[in-house]
Amino acid sequence: MKTVKPNTRRRNFLLAAGLGGAGAVAVVSGAHKAPQPGARTAASAPAAEGYRATEHVLKYYKTTEV
């Protein structure tokens, strides 16, 4: 009968746990749906008007004055 050191068993367990976690991540990341053709995302939407200093923004700026 072959004796196995405790450290070897622990290393094997940690190796298996790491590989199992990587496999789970690969399965989850592959489950995402591809974007539909013609679907617009926030990144592909054109910028509306840029920065606007609205009333509530100006009010906040006044509260930060020293």
Residue type, 18: G
- Provide φ and ψ at 61, rounded to 5°: -60, -40
Residue 63 has pLDDT above 80, yes or no: yes
Model pTM score: 0.32
Q: Is the separation of the CB atoms in 35 and 41 below 8 Å?
A: yes
Which one is predicted more confidently, 1 or 16? 16
- Comparing C-alpha atoms, which of 23, 3, 21, 19 is closest to residue 11? 19
Residue type, 51: Y
Which one is predicted more confidently, 16 or 4? 16
- Provide φ and ψ at 53, rounded to 5°: -85, 90
Token couple for 65: 């004055």
- What tens digit of pLDDT does each residue of 14-50 get? 888 887 777 777 776 666 666 666 655 555 555 567 8
